[in-house]
Chain A
Amino acid sequence: MAVISAPPIAFMTFDFMFPNISTPSLEKNLMVVFLLSILTAIPSGYFTRRTDLAMVTVFLYTAVGYVLAVALYSAPYTIFDLEQVLPAFYYAMFFRFTIILLFLFILGGFIGTVFGQMVRDMIRREETALTFKNDDKS
Chain B
Amino acid sequence: MAIWERVKEHWITVTMYLVFSLFFLSACLVSVNTYGAIAQAQRDISLENPVIGADIVPHGDVNISFSVQLHNPSRYTLHVFTLSWYAKLVNASSTNDRVIPVGEDYSGPTHYLEVPAKTTIDYTFWTVVSDPAILEKLNGFINYSKGLGTDYTLETLPYEHSFSVILMIGEFDHDYVREGYLNSLVTVELGYSSVEGIL
Contact = CB atoms under 8 A, between A and B. Distances in A.
B186 to A, nearest CB: 7
A11 B24 contact: yes
B96 to A, nearest CB: 42
Contacts of B13: 43, 46
Given A10-B24, A18-B31, A20-B174, A93 B181 contact: yes
B39 A76 contact: yes
Contact of B28 (A14, A79, A93): A14
B75 to A, nearest CB: 13
B123 interface: no
Nearest to A77: B39
Contacts of A24: 27
Contacts of A76: 35-36, 39
Given A4-B18, A11-B27, A15-B31, A21 B38 contact: yes
A20 B182 contact: yes
Q: Is the interface of B mostly helix, strand, loop or mixed?
A: helix
A82 B36 CA distance: 9
Contacts of B22: 7
A85 interface: yes
A18 B18 CA distance: 25
Nearest to B36: A80
- Sort chain B's interface into a size bin: 20 to 34
Contacts of B182: 18-20
Interface in A51-99: 68, 72, 75-76, 79-80, 82-83, 85-86, 93
A82 B41 CA distance: 11
A131 interface: no
Contacts of B17: 4, 43
Contacts of A5: 21
Interface of B: 6, 10, 13, 17-18, 20-22, 24-25, 27-28, 30-32, 34-36, 38-40, 42-43, 172-174, 176, 181-182, 184-186
